Structure 1
Amino acid sequence: MKALVYLGSGSVEIRERQFPDIARRDDVLVRVTGTGVCGTDRKILLGRFPARPGVVLGHEAVGVVEATGPDVTTVRPADRVVVNPTLFCGGCPPCRRGATNFCQHKRGTEVGVDRDGTYADYVVLPERFTERLPEGMRFRQAVLVEPLACVLNNVLAADVSFGDTVAVLGAGPIGVLTGLVAARRARRVVVVESDPYRLATAKAAFTHVVDGGGADPTDTVVAAGDGQRPEVVFDTTGTAVERALRLVADGGRVVGMGFDATYSTLMTPMYLTSHGISLIGAGDYRADVFPVAVDLARELPLESLVTHEFPLERHQDAFGLLAWREAGYGAMKVVIRSDPAPVGADGWPASDR
């Protein structure tokens, strides 16, 4: 089968890989329809997030069940599914207390990082990491379920309440999803973005949007919040925790969401204690959050975030729209299609209906 393989040092190449076999009784073979390009994929290519050379990249995937092991009961061939790429063992102390996203046995299990991912024709996963999609859920909704699960986990960790003003730093797909989810509870959501393309997208989705380029936007954000600093600030960029700490109200919460191994900041613990600020790192998502994301995906305007689709062979074009080695973005959510068939009125390729 065709697969997009990470070679290290920002290099990828389409290669022929062995067709994945069902080796365990609970394995599910999924024919991949498409995979969203995640910010993590981009940062792997830029050297800002570690990945194993030789691995097949990609993890935000949807597809159709091709075959199953004899013990599989929750899905069957021809079912449309979304992949849950956050694998866990279920038996270590974090897993037993429900923190499956911090499983102690992650080495070799992170799909698209150190376990072969979904920029490929097929992928095999244990049954519990494939979630059957509701009837009528469209392809462009389903491909955003995995990032939506990440967002849900972080919004829940922030304990957003109806009286809160929330600031979201960054208006990429994760930032927009964070704003959409937070807006279901918060009093007000203010989105901050500096990239012109994504700033325009944010303005179409939210009432309060601030241009974060140039001067410190704190005063503008405060003005958008009726003169008050936000009680909750989400850094969805991975490089703005310091700005978030300066922006948040006393007694507020800052949530670091983005992944960027090259970013660091000097922080005085006394600043947190004297201002009563909680700095939260929630990670991606627990196992129980993923099916909630599947349900919530039906209620949010997710399809509008998918701005571009490319076949696997045009992966360089896909990455190029996401500021890959160039200044500025040219897309929101980009999808790399393993199945190049045109999408029909029901939102799925003809071969997947």
Structure 2
Amino acid sequence: MKALVWTEGRKLELCEMPEPIIVSANDVKVEIHMTGICGTDLAVITGKEEGVAGIIRGHEAVGIVVEVGDNVQQLSIGDRVVIDPNQSCGECYYCNRDNPHLCVGSDGSGMPIAGLNRQGTFARYFVCDKRFIHKLDDGMSWEAAVLIEPLACVLHNFEAARVTSEETVLVLGSGPMGMLCQYVSTHKTRVTVATEVNPYRLSRAQEIADLACSPDQLHASMLEGLTQNGKFDVVIDTVGNQLEMAERWIDRGGRMIAFGINAKYEYTCKPTKMIQNAIQLIGAGEYRYKFEEAIQFAKEHPELQGIVTKKYNLEDCDAAVGELLESSRVTDKGVISPVSQTLKTVFVFE
């Protein structure tokens, strides 16, 4: 089968790969219908993160069950499903302490994650244990369903930061993850403000948040009537390099959430300032038991499907990735040439 593989040449290339087969009585085989390009995939492509050579990338996926192992009772051939790529081992120290999101694998080499260190979903077929396959309602659109995995990440971060209904939230960045944060925030908090440099993405954020503007336009005077003193209870960096700005806007007793992925970014803080102002920096790790909640949220908010704006075949990978990179092309000093008009891009098999 054709698949997009991260190769030894440090490129995402269309390769011929063996079709996966069921090897365990607990296995489920899924024919992928739609699979999203994640920011972590882009981070590998741009060198901000390391990728494992020989691995089929992709981890946000939905499809239809085409085969099940003998021990699989809760799923049937023809079921519409979403895949949980974070496939905790259930055996390591952290899994045994009911922290599967911190799994390091049964051999200590890291949690098995589809599209990261085991074969992923940028291919027509995928096989994994039944524990990581979740059934979907027939009425849910594929576009909303493909957002369930990143939505689980967002819900986990909101829980880890103990965000309440009376709080104010600033979301830095309005890419797909930023947009999901804004949707969740508008339903779980009192005030949601967002920033974005890309004109198209900013216009989309303005449809969701109470206020959305470019980062350099955000001033305390704009927040009168929205926040207590021009600061926020929670600031979420969905870009991956905005913690300095988060610190600028966080209120006393607030929480800054590091959410975006950029291994090359470093942030220097003054511990005394954080101590005296009771500011917390939250790193939530992978999501923990959030798939069912994410499925329910997507079911209740079908408008999420609008985040998916572009669909490509695997053969058009270069065009798909190129357009996404253009949407948020960055230098060390910031974002430049924000011209592309897209949010979430997916590959489809039809």
Matching of residues 1-353 of structure 1 within 5 Å: 1-8=1-8, 10-105=10-105, 107=110, 109-212=112-215, 214=216, 217-219=218-220, 222-223=223-224, 225=227, 227-286=229-288, 288-300=289-301, 301-323=303-325, 327-328=337-338, 329-337=340-348, 339-340=349-350
Is the contact made by 1:190 and 1:221 (CA closer than 8 Å) also made in structure 2?
no
Give the aligned length. 336
CA distance in 2: counterparts of 1:108 and 1:285, whole angstroms? 12
CA distance in 2: counterparts of 1:209 and 1:181, whole angstroms? 15
CA distance in 2: counterparts of 1:13 and 1:227, whole angstroms? 50
TM-score, normalised by the number of residues in structure 2: 0.91
Aligned to 1:344: none
CA distance in 2: counterparts of 1:9 and 1:273, whole angstroms? 46
CA distance in 1: counterparts of 2:157 and 2:5, whole angstroms? 30
Is the contact made by 2:32 and 2:64 (CA closer than 8 Å) also made in structure 1?
yes
CA distance in 2: counterparts of 1:206 and 1:165, whole angstroms? 11
TM-score, normalised by the number of residues in structure 1: 0.91
Aligned to 1:348: none
CA distance in 2: counterparts of 1:318 and 1:218, whole angstroms? 35
CA distance in 2: counterparts of 1:232 and 1:150, whole angstroms? 16
- Aligned Cα RMSD in Å? 1.7
Is the contact made by 1:210 and 1:221 (CA closer than 8 Å) also made in structure 2?
no
CA distance in 2: counterparts of 1:19 and 1:134, whole angstroms? 27
Instruction: Provide, for residues 96-130 of structure 1, a one-character-per-residue CA deviation record: whole Å limited to 9, x for no partner.
Output: 33321110216371211111110101011111011
Q: How many Å apart are 1:290 and its aligned residue?
A: 0.8
Give percent identity, aligned residues only: 36
Cα gap change, 1:334 to 1:274, in 2 (>3 Å):
same
CA distance in 2: counterparts of 1:256 and 1:150, whole angstroms? 12
CA distance in 1: counterparts of 2:260 and 2:99, whole angstroms? 19
Is the contact made by 2:221 and 2:230 (CA closer than 8 Å) also made in structure 1?
no
Q: How many Å apart are 1:265 and its aligned residue?
A: 1.2
Is the contact made by 1:210 and 1:220 (CA closer than 8 Å) also made in structure 2?
no
Q: How many Å apart are 1:180 and its aligned residue?
A: 1.1
Is the contact made by 2:61 and 2:146 (CA closer than 8 Å) also made in structure 1?
yes
What is the DSSP-based 3-state SS (H/G/I as helix, E as strand, rest coil) of the residue aligned with 2:231?
coil
Q: How many Å apart are 1:185 and its aligned residue?
A: 2.2
Q: What one-letter code is carried by the residue in structure 2 that aligns with 1:285? A: Y
Cα gap change, 1:175 to 1:8, in 2 (>3 Å):
farther
Q: How many Å apart are 1:92 and its aligned residue?
A: 2.2
Instruction: Provide, for residues 305-349 of structure 1, a one-character-per-residue CA deviation record: whole Å limited to 9, x for no partner.
Output: 110101111111111221259543431011111x13xxxxxxxxx
What is the DSSP-based 3-state SS (H/G/I as helix, E as strand, rest coil) of the residue aligned with 1:167?
strand
Aligned to 1:345: none
Instruction: Provide, for residues 253-306 of structure 1, a one-character-per-residue CA deviation record: whole Å limited to 9, x for no partner.
Output: 1111111101001112112101110111112301x2111111110122211111
Instruction: Provide, for residues 41-75 of structure 1, a one-character-per-residue CA deviation record: whole Å limited to 9, x for no partner.
Output: 11110011121011101010001111011111121
Is the contact made by 2:87 and 2:111 (CA closer than 8 Å) also made in structure 1?
no
Q: What one-letter code is carried by the residue in structure 2 that aligns with 1:141? A: A
- Identify which range, 325-334 or 132-141, moves more after superposition: 325-334
What is the DSSP-based 3-state SS (H/G/I as helix, E as strand, rest coil) of the residue aligned with 1:116?
coil
